[in-house]
Structure 1
Amino acid sequence: MKRNCRRILTILVTAAALAATALPASAKGQIGFAGERPGAEARSFSALVGSWHVDRDGTRAVYAVDGRSWEQGVLAPAAPVKAKAFYGSGAPQFLAGLERYRYFPLSICNEVRNFRGGSIEVAFKGVSGTIDQAAGIAFDIKPNGDYLLLRANALEDNLVLFRMEQGRRTTVQWAGKVPVPSGRWHDLRLVVEGKRILGYLNGVKYVDQPWSEPVDGRIGLWSKADSYVFFDRFTVTER
């Protein structure tokens, strides 16, 4: 088989599998939340900012960011311990950088150490929120707390590629008139392909941005303010 052929290993991650096995940097897989205990933290993610827990959508186990009691500037429980697991002695620098983005809940995927290219996809459903109902894929998360972000917002009907750098959020590419109705499940997909970043919602491409800088860092889920949003089927395919 040619070296440049894409290797794809699809793994349905249950709670038991997550307890025993972590996906190495080159692995591909889908993370679901079946079998996890509602109210607990998902074993496959580490919440750093905001309130995150396993929830239910009917009989379906999901991962939720819960901003119903949102307070600006609140790090998640045990954030220093989680940061140390990711960055070791560099954890204080990471947390100091991340504190600049406390308005934005963030939960990092434990199972992928370095995402350099490929695709990340997640299903999400906006439940409530009067300030925002935002669902995002954070990627290129750096040891200094900076990162890139593809996010959809059910209150604004748009899809935006943002850059979080030096405490500032700047728009890289903005797409309006993107239907994101609340109370429905949607598929958000990020693709890093060569020198391009692509963003899709429900199979439709809205973002196509040239990108010459290397993408190399942790990945996770993102939200904003008082958003109460469900997530499921977090799928990573690396190239």
Structure 2
Amino acid sequence: MSESSLRLVWIYPDLLSTYGDQGNALVVERRARQRGLDVTRLDVRSDQPLPTSGDIYLIGGGEDRPQRLAAERLRRDGGLSRAVADGAAVFAVCAGYQILGHEFVNDLGEREAGLGVLDVVSTRSGDQRCVGDLLADIDGTLGLPPLTGFENHQGITRLGAGAKPFARVRFGHGNGSGDGTEGAYSGNVFGTYMHGPVLARNPLIADLLLKLALEVDTLPPTDDRWYEALREERIAAATQSA
């Protein structure tokens, strides 16, 4: 890929786009354009084939039945798995995060196969629902500030040996597994339970995706005053409610 072009793919907005998760695509696109990058954004519906030539793929959250439909179609399509094998960056939220793993529990109460591109397995808690603001420390090797987001799920996600925790929880639930982890990542593939939209609250994660796609270590600086004001507000809210 040339440094002047970038293909951004927003996967199945007709099925997976709850809690404003489409804002993640807007943030990545905006921050790319601020750096003078020519961005082609593709919003791919569930009845369309998924292109394998994307540089960054984004997946949002969704209700239980749309999640099952999305998983079925992504397995049948095969495009996302091929893109991951080719080194594309992927960032998935909540239901999308579970779909990236080996399996999750669908709306019928059955085990549903995921894509297996992230070494995690998701089940479902009984009566407890994880709802509210979260604050967590992102894996230090990624060089990012604390994670802030909003969670609303009954998922319990456990990591296998092939995945690392994306963050360690200070306040909130995260993966719901009781081990203090939130999200998971391996290589260029990232999953989290955080809404918000999470990239508006954490723009440096969007920048990380851009750097992975461009295969660069740094990006030109941008004016982040709006983002920082939002982050400070939400971190303060999480701290006060803890």
TM-score calculated relative to the size of structure 1 = 0.29
Higher normalized helix content (fraction of residues) = 2
TM-score calculated relative to the size of structure 2 = 0.29
| Higher RCO (CA < 8 A, seq sep 6+) | 1
Higher normalized strand content (fraction of residues) = 1
